[in-house]
């Protein structure tokens, strides 16, 4: 499966919308480090975890540094800046209006990967590709993604990030029955063959750095 991070575009930073400030009351958005360099995480294809949330067997035995990362569902392992970014995105998505994402993206996604083309505005792009023409289905996908299990990649390195859903990292053909059910909560079962042909998960996925920077929210192969 090809990594989405090999195809990056930089959307223009947009101005804050004053009427939307109330939406973000109590949320402290953490601006990412301007010197951070976009990274290219590659999906790992090694030993499979026993059940959702379990640590991979190889990791438990301490014998394989390339073992799949443990699947997490709790906010406990997330830095506060990551939780704030995810919650801000979820609050905006639940309004049903794509425009509520503009001030958030301006603050926490300076180099956001959201498409594989030359698009310059993520809001306009998501509106264009949405099935209902309003982008509400994209917002629904965002809620599903950030409500799913996640993994921590490249821990304690400059490339560290948290990735939702874990299916983007776990091999499709090695998912347990429970993990397949969680997969179908994200994508209908008819896309299974497409994912197998593509070599992995092709639905929306997202990554957030420990600084709170949203690295990508993108779908496709």
Of the candidates 206, 144, 117, 211, the residue with the CA atom closest to the CA atom of residue 169: 206
Judged by DSSP in three states, 174 sits in helix
As a whole number of Å, the end-to-end CA separation of the chain is 7
Q: Cα 39 to chain center, whole Å?
A: 14
Residues 148 and 10: their CA atoms lie apart, in Å, by 26
Reduce the DSSP state of residue 12 to 3 states and report it. Answer: coil
| Predicted confidence pLDDT, tens digits, the chain (221 residues) | 444 333 333 333 333 333 333 333 443 334 444 444 444 444 433 333 333 333 333 333 333 556 899 999 999 999 999 999 999 999 999 999 999 999 999 999 999 999 998 788 999 999 999 999 999 999 999 999 999 999 999 999 999 999 999 999 999 999 999 999 999 999 999 999 999 999 999 999 999 999 999 999 999 97
Helices 136-146 & 177-186 angle (0-180, nearest 10): 150
Return the pLDDT at 66.
67
Q: What is the pLDDT of residue 221?
A: 78
Distance, in Å, from the CA atom of 121 to the CA atom of 73, rounded to the nearest integer, reads 31
**pLDDT at residue 201 in the model:** 97
Which residues on neighbouring strands pair with residue 207, listed in sequence order?
163, 216
Task: Check residue 117 and give its pLDDT.
Answer: 86
């Amino acid at each position: 499966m090809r990594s989405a991070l090999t195809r990056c575009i930089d959307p223009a930073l947009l101005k804050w919308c004053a009427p939307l400030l109330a939406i973000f009351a109590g949320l402290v958005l953490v601006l990412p480090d301007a010197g951070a360099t976009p990274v290219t995480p590659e999906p790992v294809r090694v030993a499979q975890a026993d059940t959702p949330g379990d640590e991979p067997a190889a990791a438990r035995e301490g014998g394989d540094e390339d073992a799949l990362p443990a699947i997490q569902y709790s906010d406990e392992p997330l830095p506060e800046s990551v939780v704030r970014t995810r919650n801000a995105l979820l609050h905006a998505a639940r309004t049903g209006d794509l425009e509520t994402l503009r001030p958030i993206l301006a603050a926490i996604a300076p180099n956001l990967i959201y498409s594989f083309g030359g698009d310059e505005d993520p809001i306009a792009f998501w509106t264009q590709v949405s099935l209902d023409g309003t982008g509400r289905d994209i917002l629904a996908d965002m809620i599903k993604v950030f409500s799913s299990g996640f993994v921590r990649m490249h821990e304690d390195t400059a490339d560290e990030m948290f990735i939702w859903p874990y299916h983007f990292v776990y091999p499709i053909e090695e998912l347990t029955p429970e993990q397949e059910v969680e997969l179908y909560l994200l994508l209908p079962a008819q896309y299974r063959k497409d994912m197998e042909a593509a070599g992995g998960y092709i639905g929306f996925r997202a990554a957030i750095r420990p600084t709170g920077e949203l690295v990508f929210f993108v779908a496709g192969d």
